[in-house]
Amino acid sequence: MSDEPENPSLQVTVTKELAGSTRFSQNGTTRAGLFLMTPHGAISPTTNSMEAAALRLEDHIRLLAPRVVVAYSGGVDSTVVLKAATRALGSRALGLLADTESNTEEDLRIAGEIADQHGFTVEVVSYSELAIENYAENPANRCFFCKNELYTRLTAFAASRDIAVVCDGSNADDMGDYRPGLKAVEAHRVRSPLKDLGLGKADVRALAKHYGLPNHERPASPCLSSRIPYGQKITQEKLQQVAEGEAYLRKLGLREFRCRHHGEVARLEIPPDDMQTVLANREAITDEFRRIGFHWVAVDLGGFKSGGLNRVLTTENQTYQSPPESHSEETE
């Protein structure tokens, strides 16, 4: 496969294919499944019900188009969609992975390893999110500008390959949260197979497990920009500080947490069960975070909360309300 789009005039740069990735060819391997959704709720994840649900997802993708592009991040949702698409369409399913400042090297490495292990056809598109108009100013709808740029590039890439459908990993549970990026999904007519079939996060993780995906229990890992309070400018330096701080906490054995960037202060959101680990290593953590560039390290007594920075948004219209800096929150 060529590393360049067929139409050189498109504003898409494909820099490389993931090392070792191979095209998938259906070979009669056993199918897997997940909770079978019925009018009476979800059937327990027995082999038969999960087989049926997997087939349902794969058939749904197969009926969308003969070829699809999947917005692939290495997260469990998009990985399940790409796995199902690959089983349904073989090499006619193509994953595109965005390499930008708000993704960590660890995220890209994991995405590449999974693609290699499961025979996904994946290409990497590199560009600067910080160069996107309005993005670095970090408004409350920052995610819209991010996703709008992503899907502008992915739909252009798909068109250059005569592929009519782009899919993403949005699931049914996403509909109940503040996610301005979904407006971009709608604007670009991106299809969401998981949402179409009413599959929520628990369903997706169950399907990932039965597909043999190694990330079926991996905690959600929103982009690094989500650690910076609304209204505070996003910079490469801040993103790097967050990435290094969270990488250090993972080395201590922590799995699910956030390092919120409040200028000179790093505010750590840690589950209560892990706070003893943090306290036992407080001197080492303080030294490391000062080396990274923070002056102070604070542990949030409220614990870990995904999407916690959204607390500063009004419930009526989800607009940014400028709060005292110590109470700022964000979108994930």
Q: Confirm if 118 and 26 have CB atoms less than 8 A apart.
A: no
Residue 75 and residue 169 in contact, taking contact as beta carbons nearer than 8 Å:
yes
Is pLDDT larger for residue 177 or for residue 125? 125
- The better pLDDT of the pair 70, 4 is held by 70
* CA 327 – CA 262 distance, rounded (Å): 10
| CA 172/CA 194 separation, integer angstroms | 7
Picking from 9, 15, 12, the residue whose alpha carbon sits closest to that of residue 155 is 12
DSSP-derived secondary structure letter, 293: T
* 242 within domain boundaries: yes
Look at residue 304 and give its three-state secondary structure.
coil
Does residue 230 have a pLDDT over 60? Answer: yes
CA 226 to chain centre: 12
| Domain match, 172 and 205 both | yes
* Same domain membership, residue 228 and residue 193: no
Closest CA to 88 of 53, 51, 61, 125: 61
Report yes or no on 315 lying in a domain.
yes
Whether 229 maps to a domain, the answer reads yes
Question: Is pLDDT larger for residue 321 or for residue 291?
Answer: 291
Predicted pLDDT at 307:
63
Question: What pLDDT was estimated at residue 281?
Answer: 98
Question: What is the per-residue pLDDT across 260-286, written as a single tens digit (0 to 9) for each?
Answer: 999 999 999 999 999 999 999 999 999
Report how many domains make up the chain.
2
Instruction: Return the minimum-mean-pLDDT range out of 49-58, 113-122, 231-240.
Output: 49-58
Q: How far is residue 117's CA from residue 22's CA, in Å, rounded to a whole number?
A: 9
219 assigned to some structural domain? no
User: Is residue 296 located within the same domain as residue 242?
Assistant: yes
For residues 260 and 186, membership in a common domain is answered with no
206 in a structural domain = yes
pLDDT score recorded for residue 38 = 39
Query: Which segments of the chain are extended strands (E)?
Result: 14-17, 37-38, 41-42, 68-72, 93-99, 121-126, 165-167, 258-262, 265-269, 296-299
Whole-number Å distance between alpha carbons of 61 and 179: 24
CB atoms within 10 A of CB 10: 14
Tokens 């290593």 belong to which residue? Answer: 281
Domain with residue 41: its CATH number is 3.40.50.620
Same domain, 234 and 313: yes
Where residue 47 falls among pLDDT bands split at 50, 70, 90?
low
> 17: closest CA among 122, 127, 157, 150?
122
User: pLDDT by residue (tens digit) across 287-300?
Assistant: 999 999 999 999 99
Q: Residue 131: pLDDT band by 50, 70, 90 thresholds?
A: very high
| pLDDT number for residue 6 | 34
Whole-prediction pTM: 0.80
Q: Are residues 46 and 138 in the same domain?
A: yes
Asked whether residue 25 falls in the same domain as residue 134, the answer is yes
Residue 83's identity, in one-letter code, is K
Question: Is 58 among the domain residues?
Answer: yes
**One domain for residues 205 and 228:** no
- What is the token pair recorded at 235? 């910079």
Residues 177 and 256: their CA atoms lie apart, in Å, by: 19
Q: How confident is the model at residue 176 (pLDDT cuts 50, 70, 90)?
A: confident
Task: Tell whether 189 and 235 lie within a shared domain.
Answer: no
Average pLDDT over all residues of the chain: 83
Together in a domain, 143 and 187:
yes
Is residue 161 in a domain? yes
Burial class (CB in 10 A: 0-12, 13-18, 19+), 300: middle
Q: Which residue range(s) make up the domain with 322?
A: 224-327
Question: Are 72 and 168 spatial neighbours (Cβ–Cβ below 8 Å)?
Answer: no
6 is a domain residue = no
